[in-house]
Amino acid sequence: MAIQAFRAIALLLPALAIQAVAQGQGAIGADECVTTYDANVDYFASKISVDDAALFKVSYHKNYKVVTNVEKNLQYVLTQCGTPVPSAASFPNTTVFVNVPVKNTASMATTSVAFIEMLGRRSTLKVVDTEGLVSSPCVQLGLEKKEIVGLEDTDLVLRAQQLQGADVIFSTFGVEKGSENKTVIVSDVRDPGPLHAPAQNLTANINNNYNCFKSAANAKGAAKPIVAWTQFVAPASYNNNTASWTLSGADYKRILSTDAGATFFNGTDKSSFLSPSEFHAAIKDVDVIIDETMTGANFTSFITNYNFTSADEANYKFLKNKAVFRQDGLVNPGDGRDWFAGAVVMNDAVLQDIVRAVHPEVLPASVHYNWIRNIAKEEPKQVLTSANCTAVDATKPVPDRALVCKDMKAGGNVSAASTKSIAGAFSAVLGLLAVALTL
């Protein structure tokens, strides 16, 4: 879960993009199909250009575009609905054909749910898998109201019916039998790190806000606290009943840590330890810990899991300075972490959280956490339920959780002006994204 979460899932975006922003001859409203097809009209009037390094490519034709998953060499033909679908014979037999804009989507992963919502396309979402993990308040509400259904697990006939109704299925793992020709695989893409995914590249506002936090946290001469992302792996049958303590070296964590003005520590000569004392020796200079252990969500459990004693509190800076964090600051009532959903999209807000952990002095004094909570200071989990659904309009993008960095005052109060709203900066981001992806 943790690994796939941050992977590029940009592939799903072109299919969702709305048409409302198209300009010129081909302009049509959101969700509308072309009623009078004209072979001479360019239905994707403006276009994005994707750089060579990107994980996907887009090529344009008058009434359809071809998105290629470069790594998997898979093609998706997105045809403006109401216009003729190009002949399948011209494409590899693995090609998936989708009419856009899509009206009904099924999502097999909570990460896709977040993207769909942030594009303002929740109204298309009809089926979600692992619905117990969904953190989005409005999708929880949709599930309660049965406007969205959880994918059936046991009744296979019902399951097939549910998937039949979807125009496109976003999946991270396998392809469901019978749904091959409409499944978009969004996993198996290399971990790109924040801002490296093409989708993020397109979201200038998120990028600019991210870069503003990055500059603030990397001011010349500022100290660089050492941060480690650690995990205790409890003894279990799959690991031969052997406990271990690990340091993560994942690219996106390295990038987030250094961009937050910290030094990323992934171990000197090894990153996995079978004895706690050896692990303690390895992390003796670490200033800030981000604990990724799945179980044991409080400081008492942290101390136990890592086999510290009260005497250790004087010897380790992260204990002495109360700098132990976890990624479960935003969860659903069943402990489904929004870290795997909203955080994947809102890179600027994630960086803000990491900056809060390592350089709080550059943020307003009253800044609140999103996902990264300090368990040493007993900051509680924030539980998202359907009651937290404020973006009731399913065709409106949900807001970003980040402050507007350029408007914030270090050490000051969080003013109303420094919080993004649906109507404010973030819809501009999504507008841009939608423009880019529609084109």
Ligand X SMILES: *[C@@H]1O[C@H](CO)[C@@H](O)[C@H](O)[C@H]1NC(C)=O
Beta carbons of 282 and 273 less than 8 angstroms apart: yes
Distance of closest approach, residue 106 Cβ to ligand X, in angstroms: 14
CA distance 37 to 29: 15
Distance of closest approach, residue 138 Cβ to ligand X, in angstroms: 12
* Greatest Cα pair distance in the chain: 77
CA distance 408 to 349: 14
Considering the complex, state which of residue 75 and residue 307 has its C-beta at the smaller distance from ligand X. 307
Distance of closest approach, residue 36 Cβ to ligand X, in angstroms: 23
Considering the complex, state which of residue 54 and residue 186 has its C-beta at the smaller distance from ligand X. 54
Residues that bind ligand X (CB under 6 A): 50-51, 54, 93, 97, 178, 181-182, 198, 201-202, 240, 249, 266-267, 269-271, 275-276, 296, 298, 300-301, 307, 309, 382, 384, 387-388, 412-413
Q: What is the spatial order of strands in the sheet that 125-128 belongs to?
A: 149-150, 125-128, 105-107, 168-171, 183-185
Distance of closest approach, residue 409 Cβ to ligand X, in angstroms: 7
Torsion of Cα atoms, 229 then 344 then 10 then 39, to 10°? -170
The angle that helices 425-438 and 204-217 make with each other, rounded to 10 degrees, is 130
Considering the complex, state which of residue 29 and residue 84 has its C-beta at the smaller distance from ligand X. 84
Distance of closest approach, residue 34 Cβ to ligand X, in angstroms: 17
Considering the complex, state which of residue 194 and residue 296 has its C-beta at the smaller distance from ligand X. 296
CA distance 341 to 356: 20
Q: Residue 16: which of 93, 152, 120, 171 has the closest Cα? A: 120
Considering the complex, state which of residue 40 and residue 114 has its C-beta at the smaller distance from ligand X. 114
Considering the complex, state which of residue 38 and residue 85 has its C-beta at the smaller distance from ligand X. 85
Distance of closest approach, residue 414 Cβ to ligand X, in angstroms: 9
Secondary structure in 3-state letters for 302-361 = HHHHCCCCHHHHHCCHHHHCCCEEECCCEECCCCCEHHHCHHHHCHHHHHHHHHHHHCHH
Q: Phi and psi for 325 in degrees, rounded to 5?
A: -120, 160
The one-character DSSP state at 419 is: B
Residue nearest to ligand X (CB): 267
Distance of closest approach, residue 413 Cβ to ligand X, in angstroms: 4
Considering the complex, state which of residue 51 and residue 73 has its C-beta at the smaller distance from ligand X. 51
CB atoms within 10 A of CB 74: 18
Distance of closest approach, residue 256 Cβ to ligand X, in angstroms: 15
Q: What angle do CA 184, 179, 13 make, to 5 degrees?
A: 20
Distance of closest approach, residue 40 Cβ to ligand X, in angstroms: 25
Considering the complex, state which of residue 75 and residue 266 has its C-beta at the smaller distance from ligand X. 266
Considering the complex, state which of residue 165 and residue 412 has its C-beta at the smaller distance from ligand X. 412
Q: What DSSP string runs through 181-215?
A: GGEEE--SS----TTTSHHHHH-HHHHHHHHHHHH
